[in-house]
Structure 1
Amino acid sequence: MELGIFVLLAVLVVLLLVLLVRSFKPPAQAPDAGMLVMQQQVDQLRQQLSETLTANTNQMQQQLSQITTQVNSQLQSVNQQLTSATGQIGTRLDNAARVVGEVKQNLGELTKATQQVYEVGKDISSLQEILRAPKLRGSLGELFLGELLAQVLPPTHFSLQYRFKSNEAVDAVITLGPGLVSVDSKFPLENFKKMIETSVDEEKKSHRKRFLTDVKKHIDAIAAKYILPDEGTYDFALMYIPAENVYYETIIKDESFGDEKSLCSYALTKRVIPVSPNSFYAYLQAIVLGFRGLRIEKSAQEIHQRLQRLSGDFLKFKDDFDVIGKHLSNTRGKYEEASKKLDRLGDRLVTIDHESAEPKVKVTLPKEELARPALFD
């Protein structure tokens, strides 16, 4: 491209020189030999420049054509890329719009859920206010205890609100073999709530000590009221603690104060076993296994009794069988004896038949045969 422009400028310069030379040529003079040579060179140069210009023009046209083709191809590729990018952008915008719509919908649902949580929070606050009354809280604990017993044990193996002769009613009793296991679900929680609500260490320790004192009093009451072996109970009872966090603070995270025993040790000395909902479920599963063992033992006893009866029947049958054997032996002996007599009688009949055929022969019968009645008259 730059070469063609340079050649074009050179041609223009040469043409200007030729025009200048012609304009200063003297009139009516004979042509000079040098001028002719110069004229020829100029003509040759003009021809060369014309050929060069033509070649460069053709080359430039080819290059322009190639460049145009390349530019068109690149433009087409760019158009395709732009179209694809536009489609992708449109798809992404659609996805973004859909995501924004879903986010709006989720935000709406989240708002509803937040409102529901707020309502549930108000209901829980109301329930907490209701459960401040110890009697209602105790009734709720009895309800949970009854549901747990009903889910694990057969109805015939537990009773709710069992009343003793002293007119004291325990929340539940479990029938285990010949005895009863008392279960009490009431639990003091006032000082426990104060203990977990305060953030001052001294107040927390004070409330905890009062709480443990309340629990010990409750343990003493269970031991005195519900462990009654003379009325069919075992010599221990279960103290049902209604919540896992309370059980953890009471039993698992138990600390002794000075020379005092830990709460768990104190309860065990009174033959009262503290249980939480989870540990009570494990106790019930063990009791269910005990029931299965009792059923197996009862079945084994029944099988043993049946085997004893069968053994007696077998002995009786053996005696009868021996008697029948003796009778059969006697019958066989009599049969063999009768068979022998029958054979002898047959022999005598044959003898008599022979004697009747020979009348001259005198037959002398034995005396025992003479004593028998005649066979033929």
Structure 2
Amino acid sequence: MISFFQQILIYSDIILLVGMLCIAVLLIALWRRQSWFIRQITDQRMAVDTRFSAMEQLMRGQERQLMEMLLNDRERQRTALHQLQHQIQRLLSQSHQMLEKRLGELQRQLLDEGGQLKVNLVERFDQFQQRVSHTLAENRVNQQESLTQGIEGIGRQLLEGLTSTAESLGKQVNQLVESNDQRLKEIGGLVEKRLSEGFEKTTETFNRVLEHLTRIDEAQKRISELSSNVVSLQEVLSDKRSRGAFGEVQLTALISNLMPESSYSLQHTLSNHTRVDCMLMLPEPTGKIGIDAKFPLESYRKMTDTEASEQVRTRAQSQFRQDIRKHIDDIAGKYIIPGETSDGAVMFIPAESVFAEIHGHFPDLVDEAFRKKVWLVSPTTMMAILTTARAVLKDAATREQVHLIQRHLHLLSKDFGRFQGRMDKLAVHIRQAHEDVKDAAISANKITKRFGQIERVELDELPPSTSIARIGETVEGL
């Protein structure tokens, strides 16, 4: 678009420049033609003046010769005055008669030649004036026609260029508006689709959470009802491997049901070469959160054994406190790495009863875990945490889409602002071209008026009749 507008402007400037150059060339040619006519008239007048000057010098030379002859005759007559008085008088009378006769003939000859020269000059001036008038009229008509055709051609070219430019610009504006409308519709449809999908998935997730909670309640009821047919928790968790496998299986089931696969990693290896049971990949500023599923339950089993003595249960309770504290320290030291993981980690307790026991009878452990940023969670609270994490992931994805939409809208706003600026520049150039056309029309009118003035111009600041009359008077005076 930029190069197209620049080409239009360059072509308009070139057309205007060529028009002005043509006008200037026509004016220079007319001025040179007029100068040539004036030089021709001036040369002819100078030739006539030269001829008249030569005739005047000739007459003066003859008069000087006559005067010299008379002076010589007078000197000779003075020397022989007494001797040749009668002869001198006779010679003087004869000489006088001859001189008068000769002067009369010379005067008649000069008058005849002057009249003939006057007639010839008048005829030549009339012919020259007619030729000059005819030539000037033809030149004026031809120049007016060529100038009018040139101006009309320039006007047509400018009008066609402006019309095509306006049509092209209108088409481009319509295309841009249609493209922007289509783009906005697509963006709006995409946003609406994403929001609808997000709402549907959120609703589906909550329904699934409620369904899982219902299933868990039913499972707990069935466990309590069928306790005789199920191995007790103490027996299942008596071995470390069985305990760890049980916690990992339960944690894996919860995470796989609630979180997308891209948001967590099982048995994730950290930079300190330790392996965490599960690593949640949450958006910033939360980051990566490690979850440990290996909970020490040997002391808890002894502490809750009703058949054991009070002393044994007391020692088991103390050992349980030490095991929990040590496990909190291990999690804080292994799974909290500045710059790599979040500033906290999660201790997954696979039994609700153990979780309730810790919160009910060991508040100091809860406070210590809170200070060291190790969060104690049970299956129920873990489900709530995972649901919240899923909502955070969806919110982050939605924010990314919103940022994308905002970026496209910002780019669209920039494009429209650039388009508005170019439209303003084009309007300025169109107005300038309109003003240039008006100026060219004014210049054409001035040139036409100047042709009229040139047709009526006075040759050598005098009308031809006055010049001819003065030449005739000069000839008659001679």
Q: Give the alignment's TM-score, normalised by structure 2.
A: 0.43
Residue 383 of structure 2 corresponds to residue 281 of structure 1: yes
Which of 319, 335, 350 is the aligned partner of 1:242?
350
Which of 130, 147, 166 is the aligned partner of 2:272?
166
Give 3-state SS (helix, strand or coil) of 1:278's partner: helix
- CA RMSD after TM alignment: 3.2
Q: Which aligned segments of 4 or more residues in structure 1 are displaced greater than 4 angstroms?
A: 120-123, 126-131, 338-349
Deviation of the 1:322 alpha carbon: 2.1
Which of 216, 231, 240 is the aligned partner of 2:325?
216
Residue 328 of structure 2 corresponds to residue 226 of structure 1: no
Which of 287, 293, 298 is the aligned partner of 1:185?
293
Given the superposition, is the C-alpha separation of residues 204 and 172 from structure 1 closer, same or farther in structure 2, using an over 3 Å criterion? Answer: same
Matches of 1:314 and 1:275, distance apart in 2 = 54
Matches of 2:262 and 2:281, distance apart in 1 = 8
> Residues 280 and 290 of structure 2 are in contact (CA less than 8 Å); yes or no, is this contact kept in structure 1?
yes
Which of 316, 324, 327 is the aligned partner of 2:429?
327
* Structure 1 unaligned spans of 5+: 1-116, 257-261, 352-362, 368-377
Give 2:395's aligned residue. 293
Deviation of the 1:184 alpha carbon: 0.5
Which of 217, 242, 248 is the aligned partner of 1:142?
248
Deviation of the 1:182 alpha carbon: 0.6
> Residues 237 and 298 of structure 2 are in contact (CA less than 8 Å); yes or no, is this contact kept in structure 1?
no
> Residues 254 and 263 of structure 1 are in contact (CA less than 8 Å); yes or no, is this contact kept in structure 2?
no
Give 3-state SS (helix, strand or coil) of 1:289's partner: helix
Q: RCO greater where, 1 or 2, for CA within 8 Å and sep 6 or more? A: 2
Give 3-state SS (helix, strand or coil) of 1:238's partner: strand
CA deviation digits over 1:87-139, x for unaligned, max 9? xxxxxxxxxxxxxxxxxxxxxxxxxxxxxx9xx77863499756532112211
Q: Please tell me the residue identity of whatever aligns with 2:347.
A: M
Residues 1-377 of structure 1: pairs in structure 2 closer than 5 A: 124-125=230-231, 129=235, 131-178=237-284, 179-199=287-307, 200-230=309-339, 232-251=340-359, 253-255=360-362, 262-340=364-442, 364=456
Give 3-state SS (helix, strand or coil) of 2:358's partner: helix
Deviation of the 1:327 alpha carbon: 1.6
> Residues 212 and 250 of structure 1 are in contact (CA less than 8 Å); yes or no, is this contact kept in structure 2?
no
Given the superposition, is the C-alpha separation of residues 121 and 292 from structure 1 closer, same or farther in structure 2, using an over 3 Å criterion? Answer: closer
Give 1:65's aligned residue. none
Give 3-state SS (helix, strand or coil) of 2:230's partner: helix
Matches of 2:301 and 2:247, distance apart in 1 = 16
CA deviation digits over 1:324-356, x for unaligned, max 9? 11221122113333455677899999x9xxxxx
Matches of 1:366 and 1:298, distance apart in 2 = 87
Give 3-state SS (helix, strand or coil) of 2:344's partner: strand
> Residues 152 and 285 of structure 1 are in contact (CA less than 8 Å); yes or no, is this contact kept in structure 2?
yes
Matches of 1:125 and 1:192, distance apart in 2 = 17
Q: Please tell me the residue identity of whatever aligns with 1:254.
A: H
Matches of 1:366 and 1:221, distance apart in 2 = 119
Deviation of the 1:167 alpha carbon: 1.9
Overall identity of the aligned pairs, in %: 30
* Structure 2 unaligned spans of 5+: 1-222, 460-478
Q: Please tell me the residue identity of whatever aligns with 2:303.
A: M
Matches of 1:321 and 1:281, distance apart in 2 = 59
Q: Please tell me the residue identity of whatever aligns with 2:352.
A: E
Given the superposition, is the C-alpha separation of residues 343 and 244 from structure 1 closer, same or farther in structure 2, using an over 3 Å criterion? Answer: same
Q: Please tell me the residue identity of whatever aligns with 2:318.
A: K
CA deviation digits over 1:216-252, x for unaligned, max 9? 111111011101123x10111010000101111122x
CA deviation digits over 1:31-87, x for unaligned, max 9? xxxxxxxxxxxxxxxxxxxxxxxxxxxxxxxxxxxxxxxxxxxxxxxxxxxxxxxxx
Q: Please tell me the residue identity of whatever aligns with 1:209.
A: S
